[in-house]
Amino acid sequence: MDKKKRKVYTPAEKRRRNRRHNAIVTSIAVVLMLAGIIIIVSDTTFFFDDAGRWIRRNIFGEVFETIPPFPTGSPSKPSDPDDPNNPHVGPQGSLVPRPTFSPDETPLPENVTEEPFIYDYAPECVYFPQYDITCPVDPVGYNWRGEMATVRSPFRAGWLKYSGDPVTGGNVILAGHNRYSGKLGYFSVVKDKLQPGDQVIVKMQNGEYAYYIVESINQYHYQHVPWEVMQHDGESRLTLITCLGDFSSSAGTSMHRVVAVCRPYTGE
């Protein structure tokens, strides 16, 4: 029985084969390296989001929100909700009354059928002027666990529509993602950059603005967030919330929260 003879390559043929093999390995390594760079850049910066905005603005002519100037003196107050000469649109649909909870209670409001939410004083956009961040805001309610629902985007925030608003008062509660689906979220600014004394501007659905100054920033375990953070009423303030740390599959959330409390800017 004849045995197959193993082909013997000449030195020149071996060099050609090695070059092809090395070229393939090098190409794969370059692709993996580029993919890693893209993931790191996407995970730690807003480069791709900013690039997309630039393309849509300069090539397709799309118009984006611009950050309004912060007042240098006493800001003009938003319209008086009781002014008969300046009627406003109230909340549409059936909303749950703002419940009052004790610190030991777990809020479990009844389910509400979601309808298009129209309310003059609902936050529509939040600006962080020092960091050139403009974050759209959507109204949200509660999830099935009785917790504040979240938006499904790293580049938007949620306003708890049962909380306060910039005109009628109370605690205006906004929450956004630090990271979402592997992307850095706009509300990472709350965790990484925001400092006491920084400016925050809220645009309402009626086109008016409310101005705030960051008063305090604190971190809490998600099970030990003070009751006042989610309290709807009380003195006028803006509360910004984002997550801190890795996602816990067992808890279904990140283990810590970063909470920034902002006071209305009075020009003083």
**What pLDDT shows up at residue 239?**
98
- What does the angle CA 183 – CA 179 – CA 212 come to, to the nearest 5 degrees? 120
Distance CA 28, CA 173 (A): 48
**What pLDDT shows up at residue 127?**
97
Assign 189 to helix, strand or coil. Answer: helix
User: Does any domain span residue 5?
Assistant: no
User: Does any domain span residue 37?
Assistant: no
The distance in angstroms from the start CA to the end CA of the chain is 101
CATH code: domain of residue 161: 2.40.260.10
User: Does any domain span residue 59?
Assistant: no
User: Does any domain span residue 45?
Assistant: no
Provide the total of helices (H) and of strands (E) in the chain, helices listed first. Answer: 3, 10
Burial class (CB in 10 A: 0-12, 13-18, 19+), 235: exposed
pLDDT in tens, the chain (268 residues): 556 667 777 777 777 778 888 888 888 988 888 887 877 766 666 676 667 666 766 776 655 667 788 887 666 666 555 554 444 444 433 333 334 444 454 444 444 444 555 688 999 999 999 999 999 999 999 988 888 999 999 999 999 999 999 999 999 999 999 988 888 899 999 999 999 999 999 999 999 999 999 999 999 998 899 999 999 999 999 999 999 877 767 677 788 999 999 999 987 6
Is-contact 211 199, C-beta < 8 A? yes
Tokens of 186: 């706009």
Assign 19 to helix, strand or coil. Answer: helix
β-strands 209-221, 183-184 pairing: unpaired
User: Does any domain span residue 143?
Assistant: yes
**Parent domain of 161:** 74-264
Let me know how long the chain is: 268
Spatial CA neighbour of 241 closest among 224, 217, 264: 217
**What pLDDT shows up at residue 53?**
62
**What pLDDT shows up at residue 267?**
76
User: Does any domain span residue 178?
Assistant: yes
**What pLDDT shows up at residue 119?**
82
User: Does any domain span residue 16?
Assistant: no
Please state the domain count of the chain.
1
Cut 0.75: pTM above it: no
User: Does any domain span residue 154?
Assistant: yes
Is-contact 244 52, C-beta < 8 A? no
